[in-house]
């Protein structure tokens, strides 16, 4: 009986820790998005991406701490010229969105994972795209008229998709989406995530007073954003499984590392930027 009680308490303790961390972080994130000027927002976001770069280097097999510290500097060095070349930000988003669409197809068809050893130089190169592109997309969004509201909307789309996926997956999830990469993800969860994103977009379109056509296009973009965000999650799962680790780090109690929190955003932000730019919402 005691053993059963302990097993029952452990998940609740993890869930409580996860919830408390989220409650502490969400107001800070919202405040940064709404009240910081774009230059400071870019700096704060760059710091978060830098932490993610530190973790990415470890997933790429860089074990020496001093060598790992060079990778965030490399990522930051890639951000600096983009800041003074705004056109490059949009083109980077195009390349990133195409890359993630290709990854989504590859990840869903994956049937086995080969363990990795040593330093993966190709993954270090890929990390520049995966980490710099969402920073560029979010900074570009934030700098537009009404940009902070759009950035916040994107975050709510992802959070709504995560919440919808969690509850529908628990209730109706039967068919696994990518069992090799993430046994907990189901097709029903993906459908619920898309529904959550669409409902979030409906509220945003109503609050912004968008014309019906713009509102409909925004719903489609939000659905596509929710779908592609799954690829970001699955890709990080692939990297962790290749290295035999559960989390990318231990920075956030109950959540793991920074990459564990921004993996969906890395794939979602570039596509969202392109979509809102094309329909003229941004």
Q: What is the mean pLDDT of residues 138-142?
A: 94
Average pLDDT for the chain:
89
The whole-number pLDDT of residue 8 equals: 38
* Cα distance between residue 151 and residue 29, in whole Å: 11
In a 13 Å sphere around the CA of 106, the CA atoms on its Cβ side amount to 10
Mapping DSSP to helix (H, G, I), strand (E, B) and coil, where does residue 184 land? Answer: strand
Position with higher pLDDT, 190 vs 90? 190
Query: Residue 12: exposed, middle, or buried by beta-carbon count in 10 A (0-12, 13-18, 19+)?
Result: exposed
Q: For the chain, which residues make up each domain, given as ranges?
A: 27-279
Residue of 276, 265, 39, 275 lying closest to 143 (CA atoms) = 39
Q: What is the pTM of this model?
A: 0.90
The whole-number pLDDT of residue 252 equals: 63
The whole-number pLDDT of residue 86 equals: 67
The whole-number pLDDT of residue 125 equals: 96
Condensed to tens digits (0 to 9), the pLDDT of residues 211-233 reads 999 999 999 999 999 999 999 99
Question: Does residue 209 have a pLDDT over 70?
Answer: yes
Strand partners, 77: none
Q: Considering the chain, what percentage of its residues have pLDDT values greater than 90? A: 73
The least confident of 9-13, 59-63, 70-74, 89-93 is 9-13
The whole-number pLDDT of residue 256 equals: 75
Q: What is the mean pLDDT of residues 122-128?
A: 97
Condensed to tens digits (0 to 9), the pLDDT of residues 45-67 reads 999 999 999 999 999 999 999 99
Structure tokens at 270: 């570039």
The least confident of 18-32, 128-142, 200-214, 231-245 is 18-32
The whole-number pLDDT of residue 13 equals: 62
The whole-number pLDDT of residue 6 equals: 35
Question: Does residue 281 have a pLDDT over 80?
Answer: no
């Amino acid at each position: 009986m005691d053993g059963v009680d302990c097993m029952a308490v452990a998940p609740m303790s993890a869930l409580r820790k996860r919830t408390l961390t989220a409650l502490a972080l969400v107001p800070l994130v919202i405040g940064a998005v709404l009240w910081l000027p774009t230059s400071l927002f870019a700096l704060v976001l760059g710091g978060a991406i830098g932490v993610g770069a530190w973790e990415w280097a470890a997933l790429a097999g860089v074990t020496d701490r001093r060598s790992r510290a060079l990778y965030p500097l490399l990522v930051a060095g890639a951000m600096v010229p983009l800041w003074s070349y705004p056109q490059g930000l949009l083109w980077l988003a195009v390349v990133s969105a195409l890359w993630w669409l290709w990854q989504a197809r590859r990840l869903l068809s994956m049937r086995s994972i080969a363990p990795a050893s040593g330093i993966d130089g190709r993954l270090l190169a890929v990390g520049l795209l995966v980490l710099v592109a969402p920073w560029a997309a979010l900074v570009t969004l934030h700098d537009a008229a009404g940009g902070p509201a759009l950035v916040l909307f994107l975050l709510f789309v992802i959070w709504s998709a995560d919440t919808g996926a969690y509850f529908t997956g628990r209730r109706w999830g039967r068919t696994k989406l990518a069992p090799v990469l993430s046994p907990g993800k189901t097709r029903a969860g993906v459908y619920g995530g898309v529904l959550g994103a669409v409902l979030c977009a409906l509220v945003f379109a109503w609050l912004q007073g968008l014309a019906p056509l713009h509102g409909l296009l925004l719903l489609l973009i939000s659905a596509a954003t929710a779908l592609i965000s799954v690829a970001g999650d699955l890709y990080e799962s692939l990297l962790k499984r290749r290295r035999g680790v559960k989390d990318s780090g231990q920075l956030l109690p109950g959540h793991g590392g920074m990459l564990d929190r921004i993996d969906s955003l890395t794939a979602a932000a570039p596509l969202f930027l392109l979509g809102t730019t094309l329909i003229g919402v941004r």
